[in-house]
Structure 1
Amino acid sequence: MVIPDPRQRLLQLATERGASLSALSDLIGRNSTYLQQFIRKGSPRKLEETDRRTLARFFGVDEAELGAPEEISLPEAPKPLRGDWVDVPRLALGASAGPGAVAAEELPIGAFRFSARWLREQGLDPRMLSAIRVEGDSMEGTLRDGDEILVDRSPRPLRDGIHVVRTGDALLVKRVDLGRPGAITLVSDNPAYRPIALAPDELEVVGRVVWKSGRL
């Protein structure tokens, strides 16, 4: 099989999907010009494994099309199982509802099984979902320490709601408030924690929290 040039293939996929390179850069947690520089200037020379994997799952293609050696390519995306179920990967990450959890390597350590029909009814794409653990008590009242949350990483306009965000190397789960012009305010549901106002370029929005589970 002839493997196309990863840069041209990425540009083709983005054009077909109607996704901007800026939005795709946000999707993989990079600055807005990252993929434009990759395609136009050849910098970086190749996509990092985690970036390539995320993009391949978003487009529903084999990683080899974006530069991965064929022999180590991962499956395209979670697929329906018998009975129309989908396994959503559970990542070895903790999103802090406290001081800030340092991001670990984003490798699956298990899965949560969801009804494919239920996901469709919720407007959720299984390829863009992952589950992570909540750490800390700043979201008490809504999310407790140890809860598992389902994060939708689909590139969509940011709106108020509970999101997982990255600031530096730390992951936080907070309520996003866009009411202050020129700033994104991270609000904790626990009143013991003060809101945090950041400029848009001081954080990266990983995804919106769309579901939770936890012990009674």
Structure 2
Amino acid sequence: MVTNDPRARLMQLVSEQGASLSGLSELIGRNSTYLQQFIRKGSPRKLEENDRRRLARFLGVDESELGAPEDLSSSVLIKPRGEWVDLPRLPLGASAGPGLLAGEELPIGAFRFSARWLREQGLDPAQLSAIRVEGDSMEATLRDGDEILVDRSPRNWRDGIHVVRSGEALMVKRLDLARPAVVALVSDNPAYQTIELEPGEVEVIGRVVWKSGRL
């Protein structure tokens, strides 16, 4: 049964879809306890419009279920279907070249994945989002126009392909952490030089765990 209480409804959706409050809090750009405090302590009193919209799109419900007035509720929805999970597709490009400025991060669509497959891969849907690759420096592993799934789960840095931010530039690169106090951003395309930075100059957004692209 669907409840009219936005807090209870959010908790119900989190349970049904196997998400986490901490992961959803980070999805909307808040600290990890934000939604837990909203549900259990009533603070904030109601969700801000942008937060509510992101959550509704990700969870596949009308905004009115999370407290929006009926005249502000969503007209186009992505509905969950059984054991499938809709992961947000963000209007960003992670540059596989010299770097791209990040833009507005409200979802523009979704990719549908098997909830069972995500569980088998040890992936939390609330920590996943899809963005586009732009540029050719990661060819032939990643090509211009490929869509990649980024896992933003907090973890220690490790080697592998990641989306990183340096300054305002958003890039997808292979991390090489072999040398102390050096973060090497390596391109798979040998035509591009390795970028070497200090740890404080790099923010690791997430690890690339899946890709799709045209043949």
- TM-score with structure 1 setting the length: 0.70
Q: Given the alignment of the two structures, is residue 124 of structure 1 paired with residue 140 of structure 2, yes or no? A: no
Q: Give ranges in structure 1 of 5+ residues lacking alignment.
A: 4-16, 29-48
What corresponds to 1:137 in structure 2? 136
Pair 1:115–1:50, CA change in 2 (3 A): closer
Q: Given the alignment of the two structures, is residue 91 of structure 1 paired with residue 69 of structure 2, yes or no? A: no
What corresponds to 2:202 in structure 1? 203
What corresponds to 1:82 in structure 2? 81
Output the CA distance in 1 between the equivalents of 2:209 and 2:172: 12
Query: Which structure 1 residue ranges, 4+ long, deviate > 4 Å from structure 2?
Result: 56-62
1:141 Cα deviation (Å)? 1.1
Alignment of 1:40-79 (within 5 A): 50-52=28-30, 55=32, 67=44, 69-70=46-47, 72=49, 73-74=51-52, 75=55, 78=59
Q: Is the contact made by 1:124 and 1:152 (CA closer than 8 Å) also made in structure 2?
A: yes
Output the CA distance in 2 between the equivalents of 1:131 and 1:119: 14
Pair 1:66–1:124, CA change in 2 (3 A): farther
Cα deviation, 1:156-193, whole Å, max 9, x if unaligned, reads 11110000000111100000000011111000000000
Q: Is the contact made by 1:57 and 1:127 (CA closer than 8 Å) also made in structure 2?
A: no
Pair 1:61–1:181, CA change in 2 (3 A): same
Q: Give ranges in structure 2 of 5+ residues lacking alignment.
A: 8-19, 61-78
Alpha carbon RMSD of aligned pairs, Å? 3.2
Output the CA distance in 2 between the equivalents of 1:68 and 1:137: 47
What corresponds to 2:179 in structure 1? 180
Cα deviation, 1:30-89, whole Å, max 9, x if unaligned, reads xxxxxxxxxxxxxxxxxxx9522x746996976x96647436352376479223100000
Output the CA distance in 2 between the equivalents of 1:94 and 1:142: 16
Output the CA distance in 2 between the equivalents of 1:124 and 1:58: 20
* SS in structure 1 at match of 2:86: strand
Q: Is the contact made by 1:93 and 1:105 (CA closer than 8 Å) also made in structure 2?
A: yes
Q: Is the contact made by 2:37 and 2:44 (CA closer than 8 Å) also made in structure 1?
A: no
Pair 1:82–1:164, CA change in 2 (3 A): same
Q: Is the contact made by 1:151 and 1:209 (CA closer than 8 Å) also made in structure 2?
A: yes
- TM-score with structure 2 setting the length: 0.71
What corresponds to 1:167 in structure 2? 166
Output the CA distance in 2 between the equivalents of 1:130 and 1:84: 18
What percent identity do the matched residue pairs reach? Answer: 64
What number of residue pairs does the alignment pair up? 173
Output the CA distance in 2 between the equivalents of 1:148 and 1:57: 30
Output the CA distance in 1 between the equivalents of 2:81 and 2:37: 20
